[in-house]
Amino acid sequence: MNEQKKLPGVEMLLDTLSLSFLRLASTSNMAGEHPLLRIANTAQFDKTPWLFDSVTGKLHVRGCPSIPAASTSALYAVHRRDNLEGTTLRCKRCSDMKLKKDPPNDASDMLFGILALIEQFGTILRERGNEFRRSPRGKEFEKSLSPVIEKIDKQQKGAAGIILSVMEQLNTAINTLSVKAAATDGPSTKKVQPPKKPATKRPNRPTNRPKRSKGDSQ
């Protein structure tokens, strides 16, 4: 590959980053282990109830028998529900078919996406973090941040403590409710079994029986 000329400009910087990232990924075998970006996400497309025929300009409900065979490769799954109910683009045959609800947008997907990115680049982030911490600039940074981190740590510990005690109380409350619910339920219903009491060892009772003398049995 030819050497890159160094010229100013944000685009040049981004190009350099992009190429460096690609080289880094190929040398560290990251490309083989983790997908970077999945543009072709057919599983998502298969979930939507509407299909738009780009050739005829008609909106169909998935499975409508009026979708021409020649349009199969020109169908687009429609994700936006806005104004689709009253649109004139609806196919006459399936316009009476009941529309299923949109698949729900799960916000937790986004959180997992962020976690996935952090996990994917974790090694690089950690290495860079380590290097930076050892550098003079990093040490200065650490000094100025230490009181803040300590404060956050204390706050975090405090917050964690509060959360733990709340959860403990919540757990106790749930168990109490479960026991009550189990007591009021009939025998045929499935119920939450109350927690079993731990088996207690019977204490040795003092015996009042007279001791048999050896001679009684004879």
Partner 1 sequence: MEYQDVRKQPLGLSRPNAKALKRTSALLDTYRSFNSELFTNLTSLYCRSLDEGNPFELRKMIELSTKMTLVGHACADAAGVEFTFRRKLLSALYGGCCFLADSFIDDYGEEIALRYINRFEQLLTSGWFTVSNDREQLFWIIISRIFGLCDILDPMLRQAIFSLFLAQRRDIELRSNAITFQRLKRSKQLQLLKTCARDRSGHGIAVLAHCIAPSLPLQTHHFLFCAGSLIMYIDDHGDCWADKRNSRITYMNQVKQPENILTRLFTETISMFPAVASQNASFVLLTTFLYRYFTTRLEKHKTEQHRGGLSWAVYE
Residues that bind partner 1 (CB under 8 A): 1-2, 4-5, 7, 11-12, 14-15, 18-19, 22, 25-26, 31, 35-42, 44-45, 52-57, 59, 70, 73-74, 76-79, 87, 89
Least distance from C-beta 20 to partner 1, angstroms? 11
Least distance from C-beta 62 to partner 1, angstroms? 14
* Separation of alpha carbons 7 and 77, rounded Å: 43
Least distance from C-beta 97 to partner 1, angstroms? 18
Q: Which of 74/125 has CB closer to partner 1?
A: 74
Q: Which of 15/142 has CB closer to partner 1?
A: 15
Q: Is 61 exposed, middle or buried (0-12, 13-18, 19+ CB in 10 A)?
A: buried
How many C-beta neighbours within 10 Å does residue 99 have? 14
Q: Which of 8/215 has CB closer to partner 1?
A: 8
Least distance from C-beta 111 to partner 1, angstroms? 16
Residues 6+ apart with CB under 8 A from 15: 4
Nearest CA to 122 out of 212, 18, 34 is that of: 34
Q: How far is CA 211 from CA 207, 208, 214, 215, 216, in A?
A: 9, 9, 9, 11, 10
Nearest CA to 183 out of 195, 171, 173 is that of: 195
Least distance from C-beta 118 to partner 1, angstroms? 17
Q: Which of 78/182 has CB closer to partner 1?
A: 78
Q: Which of 37/199 has CB closer to partner 1?
A: 37
* Separation of alpha carbons 60 and 50, rounded Å: 6
* Separation of alpha carbons 121 and 24, rounded Å: 11
Q: Which of 12/173 has CB closer to partner 1?
A: 12
Three-class SS state of 68: coil
